[in-house]
């Protein structure tokens, strides 16, 4: 069971180096940490592995859809990830992350690719939080 951000990062990075593919299998292990720290850790890992992607918490969200993608814009909330709470989660990290998929409107938590910043406003292409 992993109980610190650093231990989680080491586990994920070592697995990623062996597989060279970012996917949900990298997070298939047991953790015990506050939910907001688990999400913060995931965001940091994602940004290291995929520097053109980020996970943020947004308010005042606007979404423009076309046939293939969603362009999203919103005001960045700092500190982020408090929408998931600070209670300790004990269980499978991958399952925790998948529990947030489809709840973007509720939590304000989005994965964005090719982000553009304008003061505290962020826009970019929306991707699934985890795949």
Distance, in Å, from the CA atom of 131 to the CA atom of 128, rounded to the nearest integer, reads: 7
pLDDT single digits (tens) 31-71: 999 999 999 999 999 999 999 999 999 999 999 998 889 99
**pLDDT for res 83:** 83
The domain limits of the chain are 5-127
Residue with tokens 């046939």: 67
Residue with tokens 């292990």: 29
Contacts of 26 (CB under 8 A, 6+ apart): 12, 15, 16, 19
Distance, in Å, from the CA atom of 19 to the CA atom of 115, rounded to the nearest integer, reads: 26
pTM: predicted TM-score of the whole model, two decimal places:
0.91
Categorize the per-residue pLDDT at 102 as very low, low, confident or very high, splitting at 50, 70 and 90. very high
């Amino acid at each position: 069971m992993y109980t610190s951000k650093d231990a989680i990062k080491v586990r994920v990075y070592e697995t990623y180096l062996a597989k060279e593919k970012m996917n949900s299998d990298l997070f298939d292990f047991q953790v015990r940490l506050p939910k907001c720290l688990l999400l913060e850790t995931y965001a940091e890992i994602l940004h290291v592995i995929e520097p053109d992607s980020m996970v943020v918490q947004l308010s005042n969200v606007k979404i423009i859809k076309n046939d293939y993608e969603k362009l999203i814009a919103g005001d960045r909330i700092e500190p982020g990830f408090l929408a998931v709470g600070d209670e300790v989660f004990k269980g499978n990290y991958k399952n925790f992350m998948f529990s947030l998929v489809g709840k973007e409107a509720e939590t304000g938590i989005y994965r964005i690719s090719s982000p553009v910043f304008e003061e505290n406003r962020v826009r970019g292409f929306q991707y699934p939080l985890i795949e």
